[in-house]
Amino acid sequence: MSEIVIKVKDLVKKFGNFVANDHLCFEVYKGEIFGFLGANGAGKTTAIKILCGLSKPTSGEINVAGFDAYHETEKIKKSIGYMSQKFSLYEDLTITENIRFYGGIYGLSAKEIKLRTADLLEKLNLTEAKDKLIKDLPLGWRQKLAFSVAILHQPKIVFLDEPTGGVDPITRRQFWNMIYEAAHNGITVFVTTHYMDEAEYCNRVSIMVDGKIAALDTPENLMKTFQVENMEKVFLKLARG
Amino acid sequence: MRIILYLLQKEFTQIFRNKTMLPIIFVMPLVQLLVLSFAATFEMKNIKINITDNDHSSTSRALIGKFQGSAFYTIVNYSDAYKVAEKDLKTNKADMILQLPSGFERQLLKENKAKLQITINAINGSAAGLMNAYTFSIIKDFNRNLIIETYGTEMEMPIQSSTLYWFNPELNYKTYMVPGILVLLITIIAMFVSSMNIVREKEIGTIEQINVTPIHKYQFIAGKLFPFWIIAMFELAFGLLMAKIIFSLPILGNLGVIFSVASIYILAVLGIGLFVSTISNTQQQAMFIAWFFMLVFIMMSGLFTPVESMPQWAQQFNIINPVAYFIKVMRMVLLKGSGFADILIQIVSLFIYAILALSLAVGLYRKKN
């Protein structure tokens, strides 16, 4: 693990008196799959929003893809991909139209869009369905497609906010294969999830409790430290305090 | 610029894929033009009148004959007692009562003057005023004939007036209403449809995705508003064409003037639409708020009631009412043939309005999202 792509030092985010993020410190390396866990309300979404340039931190040093999260949010946005559990694709547009739209706004040329669309459709086995509206696709297909669209412009980092919510186990497995492939190609994956088996697929995992990072290590080391046999038990031990 | 083009491509695809959109663009204007123009008239026909004749003389019958012969009146009942007639008025069977007292003719012959009574349902004040005016003119006519019959010659009135109706010589209400209704149409597109479209992205959650992309807020807004600007302009052209075909709407002025003012006016309304979408989170909220603005603007605009007869404060209010400016421009240019110089105040006002509305709305949008 060499190059650092996300560097967070003493990140604090306050809403009035409420401290959503309390002095977070972590680094994420290039090509890594970084699991960002925590119970609902622990402050994950707040942190992701700051990393994506959607919200300004109260204090701390934050650097994403080489850019400062205070002043260079526009540059950050160009270097990242983002996919949330909510639908990120337009339901009333077809597969091709969605790909073309997102390719276009990330500045890909018409030729590149065409090439990558063909590639992507073939890889996902969607060539025949390319003119179908998103709303007519099963949930699992949509999520796989949304992920592919999120990395269409080959970002340095891709943020996945509970990407596999509501998806069947087979599709989840396929989805994780796609994540591995992206990471193998040098895209750093920053993922939040509530499935603890998925946490075990990550290279490293951080667990947030009440706005603080309570633990950060590889899944193996975490299980060893807490002397339990799976990540679920690690999570429960930490989250219950 | 390229980003805006991609946004526009997406918007147009979505708008025209939406099954309710095409009817909104083509059917709604036609229906509104037809229904509103025929219904929203100030003319009164078939005034329901109850005639109580207690005189039963040749004079009273002659006067009643005048009412029978008029297209404006439908005689619903002849009664002998005023009490009966009052009942008709109370139960809405009649709009007015004409009562000729007994001795009407005798008095007229003996004293050269007689009295009759008109009772009008005045719940709708302006309608009551009209009924009174119509009735008055019939009686005036009848009076003149009486004078001719009695004295053999027409008596000269010291002051005589003759009226010329300029710009709308036939006093055609449709000619007056249609330009205003066209304004209403494009306002609906620019305010309702645009604000609901923006809020829809919030509702579905796709706006979150847009926010993490390198799309600038101004690009997003331009991509959202421009399609509706085009559609509203098209709508105006379509509406004018229909009005010309169906109502033979006179177009005295230059259409270029109309469309240049429209291009500014639509920007102003789009600004309000953007503002509405910024302060609402669901399409329902957007709809209610847009409806609120729309109702106030239209009621005050002089579309249905003349601005000149409103109280001073209401006339002042129209300084911030874009609909009022544009209705005035439409009527002046279409019916009077006014050019740029005549409507300079309206153009400048709308221009300032557009700049203010858009910059305030864009500013608020950037702050809130």
DSSP string of A6-36? Answer: EEEEEEEEEETTEEEEEEEEEEEETT-EEEE
What is the Cα–Cα distance from A181 to B171, expressed in whole angstroms? 77
- Nearest Cα of chain A lies from the Cα of B195 at a distance, in angstroms, of 18
For the cut 80, the answer to whether the pLDDT of residue B266 exceeds it is yes
> In chain B, what residues touch A105 (CB-CB under 8 Å)?
3, 6-7, 213-215
CB B114 within 8 A of CB B105: yes
Q: Is A104 on the interface with B (CB under 8 A)?
A: yes
Beta-sheet pairing, A67-68 with B47-53: unpaired
Task: Report the pLDDT averaged over residues B151-166.
Answer: 73
CB atoms near residue B318 (< 10 Å): 20
SS3 B343: helix
- A105, A113, A133, A136, best to mutate vs chain B, most B CBs in 10 Å: A105
What is residue A121's predicted lDDT score, i.e. its pLDDT?
Answer: 95
For residue B116 the two structure tokens come to 């009759």
Phi, psi of A166, deg, nearest 5: 75, 15
CB atoms near residue A181 (< 10 Å): 12
pLDDT per position as a tens digit, B110-129: 888 888 899 999 888 878 88
> CB–CB of A77 and B212 under 8 A?
yes
What DSSP string runs through A91-153? TTSBHHHHHHHHHHHTT--HHHHHHHHHHHHHHTT-GGGTTSBGGGS-HHHHHHHHHHHHTTT
For the cut 80, the answer to whether the pLDDT of residue B160 exceeds it is no
Distances (CA, A) of B162 to B135, B159, B165, B167: 20, 10, 10, 16
Percent of chain B with pLDDT over 90: 37
Structural domains of chain B, ranges and CATH numbers in brackets: 2-40+172-368 (no CATH), 47-151 (3.40.1710.10)
Name the pLDDT band for B355 (thresholds 50, 70, 90).
very high
Average pLDDT of the residues of chain B: 87
H/E run at residue B8: helix B2-17
Residues in CB range of A55: below 8 A, 6 or more apart: A13, A46, A49
What is residue B364's predicted lDDT score, i.e. its pLDDT?
Answer: 87
- Number of residues in chain B: 369
- Nearest Cα of chain B lies from the Cα of A168 at a distance, in angstroms, of 23
> CB–CB of A88 and B206 under 8 A?
yes
Q: Which residue of A has its CA nearest to B367?
A: A55
What is the Cα–Cα distance from B168 to B119, expressed in whole angstroms? 32
What is residue A94's predicted lDDT score, i.e. its pLDDT?
Answer: 96
Tell me whether 0.90 is exceeded by the ipTM: no
What is residue B367's predicted lDDT score, i.e. its pLDDT?
Answer: 75
Beta-sheet pairing, A59-64 with A204-209: unpaired
What is residue A241's predicted lDDT score, i.e. its pLDDT?
Answer: 63
Q: Is A84 on the interface with B (CB under 8 A)?
A: yes
Q: Which residue of A has its CA nearest to B208?
A: A88
Alpha helices in B188-306 (DSSP H): 194-204, 206-212, 217-247, 255-279, 283-300
H/E run at residue B78: strand B73-79
- Nearest Cα of chain B lies from the Cα of A241 at a distance, in angstroms, of 33
Phi, psi of A216, deg, nearest 5: -150, 115
> CB–CB of A104 and B5 under 8 A?
yes
- B4, B10, B201, best to mutate vs chain A, most A CBs in 10 Å: B10
CB atoms near residue B307 (< 10 Å): 17
Q: Which residue of B has its CA nearest to A49?
A: B212
Q: Is A132 on the interface with B (CB under 8 A)?
A: no
- Number of residues in chain A: 241
Q: Which residue of B has its CA nearest to A104?
A: B6
> CB–CB of A74 and B214 under 8 A?
yes
What is residue B34's predicted lDDT score, i.e. its pLDDT?
Answer: 84
pLDDT per position as a tens digit, B237-261: 999 999 999 888 889 999 999 999 9
Of A217, A216, A237, A218, which is closest to residue A226 (Cα–Cα)? A237
The angle formed by the CA atoms of residues B302, B303 and B305, to the nearest 5 degrees, is 55
What is the Cα–Cα distance from A136 to A120, expressed in whole angstroms? 19
Domain locations in chain A as residue ranges: 4-240
H/E run at residue A207: strand A204-209
> CB–CB of A104 and B6 under 8 A?
yes
Q: Is B366 on the interface with A (CB under 8 A)?
A: no
Q: What is the dihedral of CA A22, A26, A31, A35, to 10 degrees?
A: -50
What is the Cα–Cα distance from B59 to B48, expressed in whole angstroms? 22
> CB–CB of B9 and A93 under 8 A?
no
Task: Report the pLDDT averaged over residues B283-305.
Answer: 90
Phi, psi of A37, deg, nearest 5: -105, 165
Name the pLDDT band for A24 (thresholds 50, 70, 90).
very high
> CB–CB of A91 and B204 under 8 A?
yes
Residue B302 DSSP class: T
What is the Cα–Cα distance from B232 to A170, expressed in whole angstroms? 49
Name the pLDDT band for B39 (thresholds 50, 70, 90).
confident
What is the Cα–Cα distance from B239 to B37, expressed in whole angstroms? 12
What is the Cα–Cα distance from B177 to B38, expressed in whole angstroms? 9
Average pLDDT of the residues of chain A: 91
Q: Which residue of B has its CA nearest to A50?
A: B212
For the cut 70, the answer to whether the pLDDT of residue B169 exceeds it is no
For residue A76 the two structure tokens come to 């950050």
Q: Which residue of B has its CA nearest to A158?
A: B212
What is residue B170's predicted lDDT score, i.e. its pLDDT?
Answer: 64
Of A207, A201, A237, which is closest to residue A220 (Cα–Cα)? A201
CB atoms near residue A19 (< 10 Å): 16
> CB–CB of B14 and A74 under 8 A?
no
CB-nearest to A87 from B2, B17, B206 is B206
Q: Which residue of A has its CA nearest to B215?
A: A105
Q: Which residue of A has its CA nearest to B220?
A: A105
Question: How far does Cα A92 stand from its chain's mean position?
Answer: 25
Phi, psi of A164, deg, nearest 5: -110, 20
Domain A4-240 CATH class label: alpha beta
Q: Which residue type does B224 have?
A: K
B34: left (phi over 0), alpha (psi -120 to 50) or beta: alpha
For the cut 60, the answer to whether the pLDDT of residue A1 exceeds it is no
CB-nearest to A77 from B9, B208, B213 is B213
CB-nearest to B214 from A84, A91, A106 is A106
| Chain A stretch 145-204, residues whose beta carbon is closer than 8 A to a beta carbon of chain B | 159
What is the Cα–Cα distance from A47 to A57, expressed in whole angstroms? 9
Cα Rg, chain B, nearest whole Å = 28
> CB–CB of B3 and A80 under 8 A?
no
> In chain A, what residues touch B6 (CB-CB under 8 Å)?
100-101, 104-105
> CB–CB of B213 and A54 under 8 A?
no
End-to-end CA distance of chain B: 22
> CB–CB of A86 and B208 under 8 A?
yes
H/E run at residue B319: none
Task: Report the pLDDT averaged over residues B278-290.
Answer: 92
What is residue B161's predicted lDDT score, i.e. its pLDDT?
Answer: 75
Q: Which residue of B has its CA nearest to A76?
A: B214
A12 forms beta bridges with: A59
Q: Is B83 on the interface with A (CB under 8 A)?
A: no
For the cut 70, the answer to whether the pLDDT of residue A179 exceeds it is yes
Name the pLDDT band for B40 (thresholds 50, 70, 90).
low
> In chain B, what residues touch A93 (CB-CB under 8 Å)?
10, 13-14, 17
What DSSP string runs through B257-282? HHHHHHHHHHHHHHHHHHHHHHH-SS
What DSSP string runs through B96-123? EEEEE-TTHHHHHHHHS----EEEE--S
> CB–CB of A54 and B14 under 8 A?
no
